[in-house]
Amino acid sequence: MGWLTHFLESYPELAVFLAVGVGYILGDIRIAGFAFGPVTGSLLAGLAIGQFAEVPISGMAKSFLFLLFLFGIGYSVGPQFLQALQRDGLRSLLLALVCTTTGLASAYVVSRFLGLDPGYSAGLLSGGLTQSAAMGTATEAVNRLAIAEEQRALYVAHIAVADAVCYIFGIVGAIWFCSVGAPKLLGADIVADAKAIEAELGLDQGSQGVLSGYHTFELRAFLVPPGAAIIGLTVGEAELLHATDRFYIQRIRRGKAIMPAALDLVLEAGDVIAISGRRKALVEKFSERHAEEVDDDDLLDMPVKAVDVLLSERDMDGVTVGKIAQQDWTRGIYLRTLRRGTQELPIARGVKLSRGDVLTLVGPEDVINAAAPRFGPVIAPTTSTDFVVLGLAIFVGGLVGVLARITIGGAVIALGTSVGALIAGLVVGHLRTRHPLFGRIPDGAVSLMTALGLASFVAMTGLHAGPVFIDAIREVGIGLFLGGIAVTMVPLLIGLAFGRFVLGMKSVLLLGALAGSLTMTAAMGAVQQRSGSPVAVLGYTPAYPISNILLTLWGTVIVILTAG
């Protein structure tokens, strides 16, 4: 073991990679359906390695990775952040404000009651509210304190210790409360409530959570036999027979000639028609009632296109999927997926689109080319990162964060480079919805920035805290763990009461918003599993970006509040 200790202390960069790799393994281990996740796994791995190796950690490397992470987070939620502030999901937004503010207040009260130092207080907040990013902003705030260097290093180590202790219940408690405890307190049947919301939105769970005819696109050929009900009808009239299924006749073979399906063209016996629609609906409804499916390669050999479109046009903001589907210019177009931020939304008639959404459209090439600009620009695949914007945005954001100062009660508070980088990411992410070619960063690059940036940062924090971990646990003991329970549960309970009795939110959407208020995707997934419906995500998505920003900022605030 001695050689390994010497090796890790001599090559600290390799110790970080070891902690991240082991952390991802630990994070994927499930016990009774529960998993820590890669970030907490990396923290635990760092703490474990730090027990036998005092790995020197570069403060610059930690800051560099954390700034990349914060910029990536801001870049990801930027398109939705201002929309959430302005209109989308106002109830979820208010709930997020109440929960995050209550969480900060709970962490402050508990830390004062237990007599915790700023490091323990920050870890109590980040772990109890399951926001590992708050460790980074708290670390920067600690490093700005006018105290001895040894004391600053100890406080930073305490952040990781407290986070590890409190995060255990933080994640388990949030998942349990949102999926089991809260429904019991509400006395709600979340399965029935979810079905009611689905009916209101027009969501067809019989087709795996996707509105019939809006999702899976297929083009098939059918022969119109003598006596078929559609003989003598125009193409437009035939399509209206199954308007809710959105069948569209794309082309027609009459004899040896293949012709476009003009809406006023009258259908005749013997025609072979190429129809687009959802596979199951085509087989069960169209072929059984009107025609016999045939194989016609030439008829079906037409260019079909699938594109991702960034919704940026103002007149599309707030319009429901169902209303857009009724427009003449969407004839033949199908919505395959709808993404808001990192979450995929259920596709239903009542779901409202929001600027910054990414829509995957499928249909004939000429129709897609004409319709896509009405939504916004097509997102062409790219592997290039705009490093000019990336570098300058983080620099300018960090500079603003250092120079910007707020005076509260006579105390001068600087935002810091971390908050500045976060704001820079928000601005660049938001500008993408107005100028899509500005600051382009591929999704894979953003994912690497956020995942590796945070995992590496907390791994290094764990490595730094490892040597003092055991002594710190002896110092704070069970009190810190119980305090973490309070920090987790108080905002959830107050948020539940506020959402139900003040905002009047429906149970499933309220539970999704509670999960979003603690940025706990796993809790939202548990609600979806319990309710047998994806609709909880509609409460989660408006709350998540606001809470993500505020809970990250609270790392700075809690240090300032407890350092006096």
Structure confidence by residue, pLDDT tens digits, 286-308: 655 556 778 888 888 888 888 88
pLDDT tier at 489 (50, 70, 90 boundaries)? very high
Mean pLDDT of 194-209: 66
> What would the pLDDT profile of 244-257 be if each residue is shown by its tens digit?
777 888 889 998 88
Contact indicator for 458, 43 with CB cutoff of 8 Å: yes
The tokens describing 519, both together, are 């940025």
Contact indicator for 445, 385 with CB cutoff of 8 Å: yes
> What would the pLDDT profile of 124-158 be if each residue is shown by its tens digit?
999 999 888 888 889 988 988 888 988 998 999 99
Q: What is the pLDDT of residue 66?
A: 85
Mean pLDDT of 536-542: 84
What percent of the chain is modeled with pLDDT above 90? 19
Contact indicator for 517, 498 with CB cutoff of 8 Å: no
Q: How far apart are CA 228 and CA 291, in angstroms?
A: 7
What percent of the chain is modeled with pLDDT above 70? 90
DSSP symbols for 262-283: -TTPBP-TT-EEEEEE-HHHII
Q: How far apart are CA 434 and CA 79, in angstroms?
A: 9
Angle, vertex CA 383, rays to CA 441 and CA 447, nearest 5: 50
β-strand 257-260 against 272-277: which pairing, if any? unpaired
Q: What's the burial of 409, exposed, middle or buried (CB within 10 Å: 0-12/13-18/19+)?
A: exposed
pLDDT at 213 over 50: no
Mean pLDDT of 261-283: 82
Q: What is the pLDDT of residue 207?
A: 43
Q: What is the pLDDT of residue 208?
A: 40
pLDDT at 230 over 90: no
